[in-house]
Amino acid sequence: MGEAAIKIGRKHKSVFKDKVMEILPNGGNLNACLTCGACASGCPATGLEGMDPRKFLRMAALGMDEEILSTNWVWMCSMCQRCIYVCPMEINIPQLVFHARKSWPREKKPRGIAGSCDQALKNDTCSAMGATEEDFEFVVNDVLEEYREGQPEFAEMTADINREGAYYVLNQNSREPVTEPDEMVPLWKILHLAGADWTYSSKGFAAENYCLFMAEDENWEKIVRIKAKAVDDLGAKVWLNTE
């Protein structure tokens, strides 16, 4: 007796993956996966929600758009791009993640990230903590004075704000001046000992950009432009962003 032939379903087409490939140079190499697992081995989000970068990419290749565009794993990816660096084919999985996030309705995105993005848009400090320029300047000057007095070897250390003509403009995570101001000081000491010519800008001082993690192009671009303008306005040569 002959056995009935097993029919293999037609190849699925991923609208999601095709859209991402259109905007990436050389298609982001999304079709070049060797399934070697190097991306998963180096990913800090591997195993969360039963997902990893390789599995995420394979789901895209198999046309599993609905599953990709609904998994919470996309919000656990740190967008560190480690998967690209270890991938022998340099496949741009973070862009897949970014566009998956972009497809989520605003009201369903994580409230913590959304709230931080909204705070950063409220004033020109771009602080996700809602810190104002006056708040930032007070904390920096207060902490600087404390360390100059308490540690004589750093009595000449500076932490200028809005000084025109400095070579570097430094951004710092805005959580530090608000909740952990002492965490700013080690970097000041390094810059002091290196003899670096640097300053903060009170506008756009915050290094983080939660709107980027929200995949909201217009909002994250607005934040970057505020920071870049602050650097240009001070006539600095280099922008140091600690995030």
Residue 1, pLDDT score: 44
Is 146 within 8 Å of 243 (Cβ atoms)?
no
- pTM: predicted TM-score of the whole model, two decimal places: 0.82
Residue 13, pLDDT score: 64
169-208 per-position pLDDT tens digit: 999 999 999 999 999 999 999 999 999 999 999 999 999 9
Residue 9, pLDDT score: 44
Residue 11, pLDDT score: 54
Neighbouring residues of 77: CB distance < 8 A, sequence distance ≥ 6: 43, 45, 53, 94, 97
Say how far apart CA 209 and CA 188 lie, in whole Å: 22
Residue 107, pLDDT score: 93
Residues of the chain with pLDDT under 70: 1-14, 23, 27
* DSSP letter string, 59-116: HHHTT-HHHHTT-GGGGT-----HHHHH-TT---HHHHHHHHHHHS-GGGS-HHHHHH
Residue 7, pLDDT score: 42
